[in-house]
Each structure stands twice: as C-alpha cells, then as structure tokens.
Structure 1
Amino acid sequence: MIDINVSLDLMEFVETQILPRYANFDQAHRLNHVNHVIKQSLALARKIGADINMAYVTAAYHDLGLEGPRAIHHLTSGKILISDTRLKKWFSAEQMKIMKEAVEDHRASASHAPRSIYGKIVAEADRELEPDTVFRRTILYGRDHYPEMSMEQQWDRFTEHLDNKYSNTGYIKLWIPGSENEKNLKVIRDYINNRTALRALFDKIFNELNGNEAEQ
C-alpha cells in the first residue's frame, strides 16, 4: 500500500534546505509558486497511487534551475536534483534518475511527453491554470523582467505570451485527463478569444499592481 504522507525527516530537509532557495527568484516563481506545485503534486500522486515522497521531491526541485539561465532551467533543475547526494538517504539510484527526468520534462514547452508518471504529475501541477493566477503572473513577469516597458508594451508582451502558450494553437499540453486544469484552460482561452474582456482584465490587474506599489 502506498503511504499517502511525506516522510517527516524528508519534509524537514526540503523545507529548511531546498525551499528557501526560491526566495530569490522572480515574483512568479517564489515560495507561493513552489508550494502550490507541491500541494497539487501530492494531491495528484494520492489520486493516482504514485510514490508520495518522489512526487514531493520532484515538485520541490522542479524550478531550482532558475538560479541559472531560464531557457534551460528544467535541465539545470534535473542536474541539481541528481547531484544532491543528500537525497540518497531516502531514494535509490533508479528513483533519483526517474525524478531527474521528471524535473527535466516538466516544462510546458517540452516537445515530448513526460517519460514517467512523475513527470506528468509535476507538469500538470506546474501549469497552475487558475485564470486570475495565470494573468497576474504573466503581468508580474513582464514588469519584473522588462521594467522599462510602457503599459502598452506590457500589454503587447502579455497578449503575445498568452497566444503562444495558452491559445488553441499554443504549446501548452495537459497530461492528466479530467483535471481541473482542463476547465481552467477553457476559461483562459475564452478570454484570449475576447480581446475586449482580456484588455479590461489586464488594465484592472496592472493598475491594481501599480496602486499596491504606490502604497508601499
């Protein structure tokens, strides 16, 4: 029978040694993001009957590669995981290899399906397709990385990213049928296909973020 709870000593290690590393990433990939991915991964692992500890570690390490170039962060994250000899306390060499590959396969733009159920779990959990979260994170990323852009330029970047990733012809793929992500992706696509509604939502979030900064 699969244990549905993460080992306490493993959790203590991850929470004290791994998760704090997310504090220095951009606002869209900090602790709230990795904690969301962990929570969703554990829920999916319990539902499917996968190893809960493997799902937990895969989620915890999935974006550590953002310490280097973003374009290859999934590969770097895999290297960080497989090189962390401290994990040998809990996992075999074969389990380490599976988790490394799962981390490598999590990226939404990956050209191939994840090689294991753990890759599918973390990829699905990482999608974080709650519509408001997707729109807010996209705006935050643009403001963090391109602060010199005007509001209109941010809008253009925002719509280009949504079209490329989330539209009917976008590169995002879902790997677990019947998930909440399917419903949320439909809502996002409805907004993408209604530019008037999308612009109104963009203006609301953008101005709200500006207001929050002005108050600080």
Structure 2
Amino acid sequence: MTDMTHTTEQVQAYMARVPESLVRYLEDEVLPQYDHFDPAHRRDHARSVMQRSMAMGAHYADTDAGMLLTAAACHDLGLCEGRACHHLVSERIVRADQRLRQWFDGAQIEVIAEAAEDHRASADRAPRTIYGMIVAEADRLIDPLVSMRRAVQYGLANYPELTREQHYQRMVAHLHEKYAEGGYLHLWLPESPNAAPLAELRRMMADEPLMRQTFDLLWQQEMP
C-alpha cells in the first residue's frame, strides 16, 4: 500500500496551482449554496471534501489541482433538487455553469462534471477518472463518530416523525447497509486513508452496547 501522507508544505504547493480567481469564485459563489442543505451537507462538509481532495491530490502529481478542487466544491450541489438523484443534478449544474469556462475548456469541464456525478457512495461502478476516485474518497470521511453523527442528523432532518428508538434503528440499518462487509460503499483507491477508519467503524458496529451509548450521546447533542 502506498503512503498518501504528505506534509503541509506539499499540500500547500499543490493547492498553489489553483488560480486565485477560481478559489474566490468557489468560495463566494459555489460554497454559499450549501447553506440551504441539511446539517450533514452544509458548507463545512463541502470544505472538508475540498481539503481532503487536495491532500489526496498531492499524491498524484499529474492531476490538475483546479479541476479537482472544483469537482470537490460542486459534488453535492445537486442536493438543491433532493438527495435521490443529487449526483446527476450536480453533474448537470457543472456542465451548465458558464463561469467555469473562464478556467477550463470543454473537455476539462466534462471530467469535472463526471467526477461530481461519480462521487456517490452507492454507485455500482468505479468512478471514470482519478478525479472522481479522489472526490469519492474525500467525500467518505469515514470517521466512526462523524459517520454516526451524520446518520443521526439526516434522520432528524428527514424523518422527524420517528421515535427515538426508531431513529436508533434507522441509524444502525443505514450504517450496516453502507459500511458493513458487502455494503454498498467501496474504497476506490488502494491507498485510501479511509481503510483504517472503516475497519474501526465495523468493530464499533459489532458492539451493540457501544452503539447504543454513542447514539445516546449524539441524540442529546443533536436534538433541536
């Protein structure tokens, strides 16, 4: 397995390849669109995916940092039309954004759009390019506590009629469907930094008392 750990200086040097005008556009025009989404997909989530994409992108010296940052920034924009097909809507939004043509040609925009579509964890095929693979891995953010918190947040935002016990059962069912052995989540890069956290989450999922205890803590913190 190849080590994807990089120094701050290496990541900063990779990020420095992105035109400042593009960074400003993503910050001022793209990221504010996340403010209207559910709590698990607000601006802080988009920033996290962007930062993690840059950290992983530094491992692949021949990638275009601007294309990768843009794909990461735009990956969840399709949530404006709901979650079910948001990856397809994100792809459409990228293609329709004429402002991006200040920095990219048509072929590059096509790659960015494909990466935005291919990020979805439930996709039944591998992303078509390294850009999609990186954004998909960056979007995973398989931190056991964060993954559980996002499941609780999504349940509260979309199923307010459920009881506390039903929210717990929904969270557990979601985690098993997505993260368990045979679940729909795939790690597309062999050197993915998500491999160790995924193993830890699976250990937690096998410990029902620990799952209950963690849910109770998250419930207290997330209840409006």
- Which of the five TM-score ranges fits, normalised by the shorter chain? over 0.9
SS in 1 for 2:85: helix
1:56-205 matches, within 5 Å, as 56-205=69-218
* Residue 97 of structure 1, CA deviation: 0.6
SS in 2 for 1:71: coil
- Please give the per-residue CA displacement for 1:126-167, whole angstroms capped at 9, x wherever unaligned: 001111111111101101111111100101100110010011
State the Cα RMSD in Å: 1.2
Give the number of equivalent residue pairs.
210
Q: Distance in 2 between matches of 1:60 and 1:153?
A: 33
Q: Distance in 2 between matches of 1:197 and 1:21?
A: 36
Greater helix share, 1 or 2? Answer: 1
Runs of 4+ in 1 over 3 A off after TM superposition: none
Q: Which runs of 5+ in 1 are unaligned?
A: none
SS in 1 for 2:111: helix
**Partner in structure 2 of residue 9 of structure 1:** 21
TM-score norm. by structure 1 comes to 0.94
SS in 1 for 2:84: helix
* Residue 179 of structure 1, CA deviation: 2.5
**Residue from 30, 44, 53 that aligns with 2:42:** 30
State percent identity of aligned pairs.
41
* Residue 178 of structure 1, CA deviation: 2.7
* Residue 209 of structure 1, CA deviation: 2.5
Q: Which runs of 5+ in 2 are unaligned?
A: 1-12
Q: Distance in 2 between matches of 1:102 and 1:173?
A: 16
TM-score norm. by structure 2 comes to 0.91
Q: Is the 8 A contact 1:3 1:51 kept in 2?
A: no
